[in-house]
Structure 1
Amino acid sequence: MTYTSLHWGAYRPLVENGRLVEMRPVPWDRDPSPIGASLPGAIDSPSRIRRPAVRRGFLERPGGSGEGRGREPFVEVDWDTALDLVAAELRRVRGEYGNRAIFGGSYGWSSAGRFHHAQSQLHRFLNGFGGYVSSRDSYSLGAGRVLLPHIAGDMDWLLARHTSWDNLAEHCQLFVAFGGLPLKNAQVSPGGASDHLLREAIDRLSRAGVRFVNLSPLRSDLQGAADCEWWPLRPGSDTALMLALAYVLVDEGLHDQAFLARYTVGFEPFRDYLLGVVDGQPKDPEWAAARTDIPAPRIVELARRMAAGRTMINVAYALQRAVHGEQPFWMTLVLACLLGQIGLPGGGFGLGYGAMNNTGSGRKPFSGPRLEQGTNPVRDFIPVARIADMLLRPGAPFDYDGRRHRYPDIRLVYWAGGNAFHHHQDLNRFLHAWRRPQTIVVHEQYWTAQAKHADIVLPATTALERDDIGSASSDRFMLAMKRAIEPVGEARDDYRIFLDLAGRLGFADRFGEGRDTLDWLRHSYEGSRQRAREQGIELPDFEVFWAEGCFEVPRPAQQTILLEEFRDDPEAHPLGTPSGRLEIHSERIAGFGYADCPGHPVWFEPPPPSHPLHLISNQPKTRLHSQYDHGAYSRASKIHGREPLTLHPRDAAARGIADGDIVRVFNERGALLAGAILSEDIRPGVVQLATGAWYDPVDPAEHNSLEKHGNPNVLTHDVGASSLSQGCTAHSAQVEVERWSGEAPPVTAFEPPRFR
């Protein structure tokens, strides 16, 4: 049996006459993602990169000006020419500037397969070459990943141990969801999503009588619950609401003082801030009502309900993708501490239920085989969302997690996996930064904007065109991913590309260790046996696994409850925080002296809005990030070929906009075209435009050109969440919308570039 593990599901590819015609979901998946339908037709579409290509100006003068990126035509070349050119540039930059001038820019979502994981392959190659400047954290969780080790523990450790859905169905009474539980987000998981869980989980909880509260500007952020209240609070005001809920708990004596005394540190300074002792302003429901648009009596009533029964408090990843994004994550923890239900069945807190499929699966945190990446001798790094700052301001200082660092001077960017033109904010500023390095090398499958703005483009295979192993932490199945079709055009897998480059640069034996792909799969599989045994998992022999095609990871004997062992005995099972306890006030963070992230959660008054509508640029329903935006499922959702923008009928009427109109969305950073959808299920004053539409400017040579396809990152601003994390702040953006009159420019995002 042939299986393919993708970030959004497990499928059985149907191939006829060597061509992919259908992606059939595996029979055990209870809620398969329709994103898989995009692969047939897209995998060999005109958007596919078929041969190595070099930007004309770079081919004529390697390492010269980057001003021609995105503007000049490409020249297709043979593989030897392309690899010789890449090797020469790597050798030149290292010789002239050192390895600290090389940036390994990979985001890691290119493949669910564990061996052909583009980020791991790139890091292993660059480590073998002497090192590179790396990035830390993620756009999804930049603020949360830095904050959590100080106050609760490592983020990945916490996510793998979240209280399971089956436990919540038995014991939870009230599920309070800040940012909702969006089904569209739970389609995906980094190492694969072999069995989709969220829709059935919400149904099970509903049948068990669990009541839900969806605190989000979007009603669609929580669907399928039988008893669900929608509270359309003002975007960015979640921390104010959490503070008011905490105020009611403390003011009415509903907080668990025994839990606070035994399991937490720092309640007293936070309490003084909460009650207004510090600044003269109690953070009471009346104060919060003016900031959230939620009436004070409703806030009081919700706090009392939370204290009266078993309550799960969940916060979506999206809330920390904002200025001061650490605060809602921190306050979620504080609220749960005040209720005192952490470590108990059905209660406590969650950091991203619904953000990815495997959170709450209740399965063992075993991630399967891994590719050893080696050690990076270069210490320089950046927080992942600060790439434009790095390229524009070499040598400038930046703060991060209690230390002062400096941006390196990057001359060569090597990117394999991910797409910066999807993830990064303020794309007009980013384009200016992207033209600074001397050389940009990209491995890509399709002619995305990142490929079109590179110097050397190497065509990479897709998951269906190579052998691999699909396995994700806390997932149900490990899958043998056998090649289903031959590579399209002259595409090669990342391993072969790097092995050929390593040969040219003199370290092929060290990089490849004499193994072909199947040898590596067997080697990494065998290397995962010990980690499997530590989780009580006995893997079959590799040959048995490879022949059978799948292995089901056994469920734990007991239900998973987050921090249950810590609650049972905090001395025997301390947390990884400085105190070993949950930290309501962090002495370590306070010692950093950051005015924008002090020692306990606080409310920062936002500046006056620059434009009347708040933009939510959330994850799309019809693709993962920007992957397969050119596929049938994503393209079917477009309006006049453009990404849909949802706005409230009241806001549309005030601007003369009708359903289905093409609209111009703009602010001081840029402008784009989108298709209007009118809906009562969005809060007035808010518009929603999903990320991932392939960047498509009218004139690539023009600064601040109109983007005609609907990529919201021409509108989001590129500043760090705080001095602590420097995380992404995409959700702190305001815009204006107007009806587009006249003929709209055609969408050309999915067309290949010009060739000489």
Structure 2
Amino acid sequence: MYRQQLSHWGSFTAATTPEGLDVVADPGDPDPAPLLRNVPAALDERVRVLAPHVRKGWLDGRGERGRDEYVPVSWAEAVELAAGELDRVRRTCGNEAIYGGSYGWGSAGRFHHAQSQVHRFLNVIGGYTRSVNSYSFGASTPLLRHIVGSDDPISRPTAWPVLAEHTEHFVCFGGIPAKNSQVNSGGISKHAVAGHLRRARERGARFTLISPLRDDLAPELGARWLAPVPGTDTALMLALSHVLVERGWHAEEFLRTHCAGFDEFWKYLSGKADGVPKSPQWAEEICGIDSATIVGLAESVATRRTMVTLSWSLQRARYGEQALWAGIALACVLGQVGLPGGGFGHGYGSMAGIGAHPLPYQLPTLPQGENPVREYIPVARIADMLLNPGQEYEYDGERRRYPDIRLVYWAGGNPFHHHQDLARLTEAFRRPEAVIVHDPFWTATARHADIVFPATTTLERNDLGCAREDRALIAMHQVVPPLGESRSDFEIFAALAEELGLGEEFTEGRDEWRWLEHLYEQWRQRFDPGLDFRQFWEAGRIELAGGPDDQVLYDRFRAAPDAHPLPTPSGRIELFSQRIDSFGYADCPGHPTWLVPEELEIPPGTGEFPLFLVANNPGTRLHSQLDHGATSAESKLHDREPLRIHPADAASRGLSTGDIVRIGSATGSALAAVVISDDVRPGVVQLATGAWFDPSAPEVATCIHGNPNAVTRDIGTSRLAQGCTGQLSRVEVRRHQAPLPPLRTRTPPIASS
């Protein structure tokens, strides 16, 4: 029987057949994601954790995390060991010595949301040190709080139907990649982004793509491609603003009534502050786009309804706050913020839900309780925390101190995918006294744990599926029984809570089915869909009423032209922030500023590492999930992740498509397979994230599979946000001449006896 499921990459039905798991995309989805072909690999027992395991060296006092073997143990023994460690640490060091790690992408379900489950459990036992912000837009969240007062440019940007109808010129910094629009946190029942873009193009909208990668916009959109030197978008944005003001094409009234600090910003743009006008000629020397092209682009955006789109990728780099701030300033200088189809948005194309009107009501959600521990870190600073307990650091105007973490508990997510400088993260993960992990697969995170609990996948349990940007609540029916001895995160935590004498507090006397019914019925009291839980479960799906699709970011500016409606100190968009300026951060001044990242201190094409590596999200999987699935595996060459390189750069190095190369940086190295393509800018190579980290042959490379975070630096965007900087690195690429070492990612590290 085919049963309905929802995933981060779409809704589908699935059933077991003699040939294996058959997955069928929802027929109502206009543009189903090819990633659905990866789903059957979730049941591949060769890479699954099929029983509780304990690291052999942890039991006998020898061995090292990341290099050790594991021995299977009974559930009773694993629960006793894990509960004992949790109890020991909280009694001897306090709950702040427990770090609760999760990244929220483990499942699209509302109940079996791993992040909610681990937080609920750790709160029940007394709390934990948590993380804030994200790897995806870690620089954006703190900055937006200061300059617009909220994350509305991410969570409530102008809706896609408005853009499709009204925008005349899309200026896409970082593009609107079709591959990223395949996925959405919490699930997606209908993929609509490509259709909206096509409608805009058919209506006559023009597109300008500003990216080192030509395919960051679909070819059918006929975009003009401008390929600046990676990491120089801020300089280009500043030059565009300079042209608009110098030639009188700026919106003086809008800057006066709805922005704060333009005079300070103009002192910098004009060169009065530092003697350097941020002119097109100045920008040409930095970004490699000629000044005439910059002036022409400025004239085009000034004479058309223009949407300045700012990809999340822009801020995943050193001083990433500046690209976002400069892009918002550019839109303000144009003065179209609040007009249908004009202004700016942050994250279009970064997820399928960005630009969809969020549901105007809450969804069924597992209560997490209250965390009495006040300690937290910016999420991308985990290695710093583990390596430097007690060290002071600065974040968003505060001087903070890293807590002394003795136990890491991770459920849902793979930090050895998200984090940078994986050799450093490996060292960091060896510092705590205990690491406990839930994982369906033998990922690098599981291989750095002391206790590994086998977790089920979404196919092996029941759940409620919906995202706040979607219009369907889906009954996610279990497709297959749990593999091996796998249990859901909820069942694992229930057993641990029981062992610690807190079972009732965690479960509230409910099993999975009763929790699903409870969450649904609680939600139904606030929003009655006309079906009780049993009826809903039988029907399989409820179409949800959403808000109107005519949402325009800051349209209230036009309704009340003299009002100051934003929750900022001035009530306006802050082009100069007195509060940020008061922090005294040289790496994040009080207005948008061109700061030279370390990657550009040596001119492009020179030095030991002449190439720029762009490490972007993959088009063949979600992050590192199901890297062994069909769509992901078919993209590899010789089982290695493909590295795209421009023909000229390949020729100068004597490389051909299919060659195995060693990518080297000042941080580390990785093996990958060459794909020659003129869709990348000369001087740029591109390697997607998500290949399972394989450090099994360190004498050859830090990662022999092709994980770019083996070569990226682990440093924050600035002291303001301390966000992730993994998007760009300087590297060199050389043919790998020695025999190719075998991959170990598909070989479970289980002791033979």
Give the TM-score category using the shorter length.
over 0.9
Which residue is equivalent to 2:53?
A: 53
In the alignment, structure 1 segments of 5+ residues that lack a partner are none
Q: Distance in 2 between matches of 1:41 and 1:227?
A: 36
- How far 1:473 moved relative to its partner? 1.3
Mapping of residues 739-754 of structure 1, within 5 Å: 739-754=735-750
Counterpart of 1:311 (choices 275, 291, 306) is: 306
3-state DSSP of counterpart to 2:131: strand
AA aligned to 1:554 is: A
Could you say which residue in structure 1 is the equivalent of 2:118? 122
Q: CA deviation at 1:525?
A: 2.4
Verify: 1:584 aligned to 2:579, yes or no: no
The letter of the residue matching 1:712 is: P
Please name the residue that 2:605 is paired with. none
The two structures, once aligned, show a CA RMSD in angstroms of 1.7
Q: Give the equivalent residue in structure 2 for 1:445.
A: 440
Query: Are residues 1:137 and 2:133 paired?
Result: yes
Structure 2 CA distance for aligned equivalents of residues 475 and 282 of structure 1: 46
Q: Does structure 1 residue 356 correspond to structure 2 residue 351?
A: yes
SS at match of 2:426: helix
What is the one-letter code of the residue matched to 1:438? Answer: E
SS in 2 for 1:177: strand
The answer to whether the aligner puts 1:549 opposite 2:540 as a matched pair is: yes
Question: What corresponds to 1:106 in structure 2?
Answer: 102
CA positional deviation for 1:573: 7.3
* Equivalent position of 1:192 in the other structure: 187
Q: 1:538-560 CA distances to partner (integer Å, 9 max, x unpaired)?
A: 56433332221112222434511
For residue 252 of structure 1, report the CA deviation from its aligned partner: 0.8
Structure 1 match to 2:328 = 333
CA offset digits 1:429-473 (Å, max 9, x no partner): 111111001100000000111111111000001001111111111
The answer to whether the 8 Å contact 1:642/1:709 transfers is: yes
Match of 1:713 among 709, 733, 736: 709
Query: Is the Cα contact below 8 Å between 1:565 and 1:573 reproduced in 2?
Result: no
Aligned mates of 1:422, 1:649 — CA distance in 2: 29
Question: 1: distance between equivalents of 2:562 and 2:456?
Answer: 50
The structural deviation recorded for 1:703 is 8.5
- Aligned with 1:269 (options 264, 282, 285): 264
Q: Secondary structure at the match of 2:201?
A: helix
Please state if 1:232 is matched with 2:227: yes
State the shift of 1:669 in Å: 1.4
1-side partners of 2:30 and 2:362: how far apart?
22
Cα pair distance change 1:431/1:115, threshold 3 Å: same
Separation in structure 2 between the aligned mates of residue 140 and residue 29 of structure 1, nearest angstrom: 26
Q: In structure 2, what is the equivalent of residue 215 of structure 1?
A: 210
Contact 2:472 2:544 (C-alpha < 8 Å) held by counterparts: yes
CA offsets per residue over residues 614-663 of structure 1, 9 Å max, x none?
01010001100000001121111101110000000100111111111011
In 1, Cα distance between equivalents of 2:532 and 2:182: 31
User: Take 1:665 and 1:562, find their aligned partners in 2: how far apart are those partners?
Assistant: 42
Alpha-carbon distance in 1 for matches of 2:121, 2:569:
36
Greater shift, 360-369 or 300-309, is seen at 360-369
| Closer, same or farther: CA 311–649 of 1 in aligned 2, 3 Å | same
CA change 1:200–1:684 in 2 (3 A) is same
Q: 2:142 aligns with which of 136, 143, 146?
A: 146
For 2:201, the equivalent position in structure 1 comes to 206
Secondary structure in 2 matching 1:528:
helix
**Which amino acid counterpart does residue 505 of structure 1 have in structure 2?**
L
Separation of aligned partners in 1, 2:70 and 2:401: 35
Taking the aligned partners of 1:20 and 1:381, their CA distance within structure 2 comes to: 44
Q: 2: CA distance between counterparts of 1:600 and 1:571? A: 23
Matches within 5 A, 1:320-469: 320-362=315-357, 364-366=359-361, 368-469=363-464
Give the superposition deviation at 1:522. 2.2
Match of 1:503 in 2: 498
Judge conservation of contact 2:161–2:549 (CA < 8 Å) in 1: no
Deviates more, 1:476-485 or 1:356-365: 356-365
Q: Does the C-alpha gap of structure 1 residues 523 and 575 become closer, same or farther in structure 2, counting only changes over 3 Å?
A: farther
Query: Counterpart of 1:599?
Result: 590
Q: Look up the SS of the partner of 1:91 in the other structure.
A: helix
User: Matched residues in 1 for 2:140 and 2:537: separation?
Assistant: 38
- SS class of match (1:5): strand
Query: Residues 116 and 468 of structure 1 are in contact (CA less than 8 Å); yes or no, is this contact kept in structure 2?
Result: yes
The aligned residue for residue 300 of structure 1 is 295
Structure 1 position 728 matched with structure 2 position 729: no
- 1:642-661 correspondence to structure 2 within 5 Å: 642-661=640-659
CA contact (8 A) 1:160 1:473 kept: no
Q: Answer yes or no: is the 8 Å Cα contact 1:670–1:704 preserved in 2.
A: no
* Matched residue, 2:615: 617
Kindly provide the amino acid, as one letter, of the partner of residue 686 in structure 2.
Q
Change in 2 beyond 3 A, CA 1:652/1:365: farther
| TM-aligned CA distance change 1:587 to 1:20, over 3 Å | farther
* 1:8 paired residue number: 9
The answer to whether the Cα contact below 8 Å between 1:5 and 1:194 also exists between their aligned partners in 2 is: yes
8 A contact 2:360–2:547 mirrored in 1: no
Q: Quote how far apart the aligned CAs of 1:73 are.
A: 1.3
The alpha carbon displacement at 1:43 in A equals: 1.6
For residues 160-179 of structure 1, the aligned pairs below 5 Å read 160-179=155-174
Equivalent positions of 1:90-101 (< 5 A) are 90-101=86-97
The residue identity in structure 2 corresponding to 1:55 is: R
Displacement after TM superposition at 1:94 (Å)? 1.0
Give the corresponding residue for 2:40: 40
CA–CA distance in structure 2, aligned partners of residues 493 and 754 of structure 1: 22
Q: Which amino acid aligns with 1:7?
A: H
Alignment partners' CA distance in 2, 1:206 and 1:489:
51
Aligned partners of 1:241 and 1:329: how far apart in 2?
12
8 Å contact kept, 1:470–1:478: yes
Q: Aligned to 2:110, what secondary structure does the other structure show? A: coil
The answer (yes or no) to whether the contact 2:614–2:687 under 8 Å persists in 1 is yes
Q: Deviations over 1:357-395 (max 9, x none)?
A: 011123535562111111111111111001110011000
- After superposition, the C-alpha distances for 1:725-749 in whole angstroms (9 at most, x for unaligned) are 0000112310000011132111221
Contact 1:428 1:703 in 2 (8 A): no
AA of the residue aligned to 2:683: G
Distance change (3 Å), C-alpha of 1:30 and 1:679: same
Deviating more after overlay: 92-101 vs 121-130: 92-101
Distance 1:629 1:591, change over 3 A: same
Q: How does 1:673-684 map to 2 (within 5 A)?
A: 673-684=671-682
What letter matches 1:635 in structure 2? A
Letter aligned with residue 110 of structure 1: G
Q: How many Å apart are 1:674 and its aligned residue?
A: 0.4
Matched residues, percent identical? 51
Deviations 1:32-83 (A, max 9, x none): 111111122442330011000000121235xxx7x51122211101111100
The count of residues paired between Structure 1 and Structure 2 equals 744
Give the Cα–Cα distance (whole angstroms) in 1 for the partners of residues 141 and 523 of structure 2: 26
| SS of equivalent to 1:54 | strand
Q: Deviations over 1:105-125 (max 9, x none)?
A: 111110110110001000000
1:226 offset after TM fit, Å? 3.4
Change (3 A) 1:429 1:598: same
Structure-2 separation of matches of 1:183 and 1:376: 38
Give me the whole-angstrom Cα distance separating, in 2, the residues matched to 1:307 and 1:502.
61
Q: TM-score, normalised by structure 2?
A: 0.96
Q: Which whole-Å CA distance do the structure 2 matches of 1:491 and 1:251 have between them?
A: 65
Alpha-carbon distance between aligned partners in 2 of 1:747 and 1:367, rounded to the nearest angstrom: 45
Are 2:393 and 2:401, in contact at CA under 8 Å, matched by a contact in 1? yes
Partner of 2:683: 685
- In 2, the alpha carbon distance for the partners of 1:587 and 1:703 equals 51
